[in-house]
Amino acid sequence: MKIVIGGASGMLGSALARELRQRGHEVVRLTRREPSTADESQWDPYAGLVDLDLIGSADVVVNLAGAPLIGNPHSQKWAAAVRTSRVTTTRVLAEAISKCGRLPTYLAGNGISFYGDRGAEVLTESAASRGDGLLTSVTRDWQEAAQPAADAGARVCVLRTAPVLDRNSAPLKQLLPLFKLGLGAKLGDGRQYFPVISRRDWVDAVVFLAEGDGVSGPVNLCCPETPTNAEFTQALARAVHRPAFLPAPAFVLRPAAGRMAPELLGSVNARPQALLDAGFEFRDPDVASVIAAGMASPRP
C-alpha cells in the first residue's frame, strides 16, 4: 500500500513510518520544508496547499501533525497553536481527500481528552464529549475537521490517543527523573482514571487500522485496563524501585497547571472497545506492562 503521513517527523509518526516500511508499504512523508529525499512531499497546510495527485494515489492518509502539548499553559499563543495546528492540518487533508476520485482511508489523529472529566464512567467510542477543558474542546474541533472526508464517502478513523508512555517523550521522559529521586507523587486524591498506551501498541493498532477495512469512526487508543492516577504512580515507583508517598494537592496543581489542570485532575475511564471488537490484541494490556515497554523502548 501507499501511505501518506503528515506529522511523520514526530515520535509517533517516525515509529509508524518505520514499521510500515518494514511491512513492505510505501511511505511518503509530508514536510513543510523543501523535500530532500524521494519519500517526501512538500505541503503548506496554512495556505491550504498539498499535492492532490499524491493524495489521490494513496491508499491511506494519516495525519499526526500538531504543535507540542508541552508549553506554557497560561499562554494564549500556545493554546491557539495547539488548536489551530491540529484543526488546520486535519481539515486540509480531509478536503483534499474529498476531491479525489479514488478515496483513500483517512486515519485522523485525535486525543482521548475528547470525553472530558467523567469520573468512573466506562467510556467506549460511543460516549459523548462533555466539558469545556482546553483539550476536550480542541478534540471536538479536531474531529469535526475530518468530516469532509467522511462526507465524501472515505473510511475515516479518528485516533483518540491516550498519553503514549515512552522514555523518549513526555510524559514518561519528564516523570522518570523525579520518580528515580523518590519524588513521585499522585495528583490530587489519585482516584481519577488516567488512560495510557505503549508506543508499540499504538503503532501496531494504527497499522492494524491501515491494513484492514473493518473499523471506521472513533477509535480509542489506550490499554484495555485503565489505571487510576494512584495506580499509575505506584506502578511507576515500583518500576524504578523507589517509594512514592508524596501527594501533589489539587489546590496547588490547579493554578500552576492552568489550562492543563483538567488533564491532570480529570478522570477518563476509557476502553478501546472498537479495537477489541475487531480482534486486535494488545501486547501491553495494563499499566505495569505499558510502563515496562516504555522504559525498554529503543531510541528513536
Highest mean pLDDT among 72-76, 79-83, 143-147: 143-147
252: in domain: no
pLDDT at 208 exceeding the cut of 80:
yes
Of 7-16, 37-46, 70-79, 147-156, the one with minimum mean pLDDT is 70-79
Q: For the residues 242-250, what does the mean pLDDT come to?
A: 76
Q: CA 267 to CA 171: how far, in whole Å?
A: 17
In a domain, 179, yes or no: no
Reply yes or no on whether the pLDDT at 300 is more than 70.
no
pLDDT of residue 106: 98
Residue 175 lies in a domain: no
Q: Measure the CA–CA gap between 108 and 12, rounded to whole angstroms.
A: 13
- Would you say residue 140 has pLDDT above 60? yes
pLDDT of residue 249: 60
Establish if 183 belongs to a structural domain: no
Residue 217 above 70 pLDDT?
A: yes
Please determine, for residue 237, whether its predicted confidence score (pLDDT) is greater than 90: yes
Domain assignment present for residue 96? The answer is yes
| Residue 188 within a domain | no
Q: How many domains does the chain have?
A: 1
48: left (phi over 0), alpha (psi -120 to 50) or beta: left
Mean pLDDT of the 246-268 span: 71
Residue 76 has pLDDT above 70, yes or no: yes
- What pLDDT was estimated at residue 260? 72
The pTM (predicted TM-score) of the whole model is: 0.95
- 224 pLDDT more than 80: yes
CA distance 121 to 131: 15
Quickly list DSSP for 140-164. Answer: HHHHHHTHHHHHTT--EEEEEEPPE
In a domain, 238, yes or no: no
pLDDT reported for residue 244: 81
Using the predicted structure, report yes or no on whether residue 67 has a pLDDT greater than 60: yes
Instruction: Note the pLDDT of residue 184.
Output: 86
**pLDDT for position 261:** 67
Residue 74's pLDDT band (boundaries 50, 70, 90)? confident
Residue holding cell 523518590? 182
* Closest C-alpha among 53, 42, 4 to residue 26: 4
What span, in angstroms and rounded, lies between the C-alpha atoms of 66 and 9? 11
Kindly state whether residue 82 falls inside one of the protein's structural domains. Answer: yes
Instruction: Tell me: pLDDT of 16 over 70.
Output: yes
Highest mean pLDDT among 17-26, 161-170, 247-256: 17-26
Confidence band for 299, pLDDT divided at 50, 70 and 90: low
2 grid coordinates: 501507499
Residue 220 lies in domain: 2-165+196-224+270-285
CATH number at residue 91: 3.40.50.720
For 74, half-sphere exposure in the C-beta direction (CA atoms, 13 angstrom radius) is 4
Please give the mean pLDDT across all residues of the chain: 93
Tell me which of 249 and 290 has the higher pLDDT: 290
Specify the higher pLDDT residue, 162 or 258.
162
Average pLDDT score over residue span 155-168 = 96
In Å, how far are 177, 199, 276 from 292, measured between CA atoms?
16, 11, 22
